Amino acid sequence: MNDVVRWIAILLISSLLAAAGATPRTAVITRPVADMHSASSGTAEVVSQEILGTTVRILSSETNALGEKWFRIETPDAYKGWTAGEALRILGKGSKPYASEGQVFEVTFFFANIAATESVSERKPLAVAVIGVRLEAGECGERWCRIVLPCGTPAWIHNADGEIREAAGLRKRLSADESAALAKRFLGLPYLWGGRSSFGFDCSGFVQTVYHLSGFELPRDSGLQMAAGGLVEVPAGAERTRDLVFFGKKDGPVSHVGMMIGPKEFIHAAPRGRPVVQTGNINDPYWRGIYRGTRRPKD
Positions marked active-site: 203, 256, 268
Residue 213 CA to residue 179 CA, distance in Å, equals 8
Buried b (16+ CB within 10 A) or exposed e, 18-42: eeeeeebbbbbbbbbbbbbbeebee
Q: Which residues contact 176 (CB under 8 A, 6 or more apart)?
A: 240, 241, 242
Residue 196 CA to residue 57 CA, distance in Å, equals 19
Q: Which residues contact 226 (CB under 8 A, 6 or more apart)?
A: 244, 246, 254, 257, 292, 293, 295
Task: Give the largest CA-CA distance in the chain.
Answer: 58
Q: Where are the alpha helices (H) located in the chain, listed in sequence order?
A: 3-19, 176-184, 203-213, 222-226, 285-289
